[in-house]
Amino acid sequence: MISRRGLLLASLGAGCARPAEVTIASFRTAMNDLPHQTAGRIPFEPWTLEGKVVLVTFVATWCFPCLTELVVLSRLQRDHAEAGFCNVMVGMDLEGRAVLDPFAEGYKLDYPLLVADDRVRAGETVFGRIRELPTRFLFARSGEVVLGYTGVSTYEELERAVASELSKH
């Protein structure tokens, strides 16, 4: 379930952001429900993410709004990784690693890029059916989903939400 903070952040977006509703029982379940095959050079080790603030973003290489957010996501990773933040990106492309490997290398992603399988694309995970791209979910250190929305965002909007969660111990 999305929090009021998520609804507020979504309403502050660039006119494209909309709340994404989901109920996720536990962080561990959510991370284990994601595909574990990766593209690029960064492995996905879900057990290392417990206790961190994690932003899971569903994207596709053909999605222009997704591409515009790469700068935002990379900057968040660079600015907040040492404080306990991590991006996890899920590539929804039907071609899988054939397009996601060159994508990850070309953009020099410094966080995991997971390769969605048929199960993820069919909505058979705790994240449900991903109907719009990009779609993102922010997990607090506690594992609770504190934000879920679709659409374009600015660095300032996401940074405010991430910094707020990182400040909580």
**Contact by Cβ (8 Å): 34, 114:** yes
* Residue 14 pLDDT: 39
Nearest one of 140, 138, 161, 158 to 148, comparing CA atoms? 138
What is the reported pLDDT for 9?
35
First to last CA, the chain: 22
User: What is the Cα–Cα distance from 49 to 88, expressed in whole angstroms?
Assistant: 10
Q: Which one has a higher pLDDT value, 9 or 159?
A: 159
User: What integer is the mean pLDDT of 44-73?
Assistant: 95
Residue 17: the pLDDT is: 46
Structure-derived torsion over alpha carbons of residues 88, 97, 155, 151, reported in degrees to the nearest 10: -100
**Could you tell me if residue 169 is inside a domain?**
no
Label the pairing between strands 53-59 and 135-139. antiparallel
53, 84, 88, 105, 168 from 80: Cα distances, Å? 10, 7, 14, 22, 14
Predicted confidence (pLDDT) per residue in 109-151, tens digit: 999 999 999 999 999 988 889 999 999 999 999 988 888 889 9
SS3 114: strand
Question: Token digits for 163?
Answer: 């910094």
State the pLDDT at residue 20: 52
Residue 59: pLDDT over 70: yes
- What's the CATH code of the domain at 114? 3.40.30.10
pLDDT of 51:
94
pLDDT digit string, tens, across residues 7-21: 333 433 433 444 455
The stretch 57-82 carries a mean pLDDT of 96
Q: Which of 71, 115, 119, 122 is nearest to 90 (CA)?
A: 115
Based on the structure, what is the number of domains in the chain? 1
Whether 136 maps to a domain, the answer reads: yes
**How does pLDDT run across 20-37, given as a tens digit for each residue?**
555 676 788 899 889 999
CA separation for the pair 112, 95 (Å, rounded): 18
**Structural domain boundaries enclosing 30:** 4-163
pLDDT at residue 22, as a whole number? 56
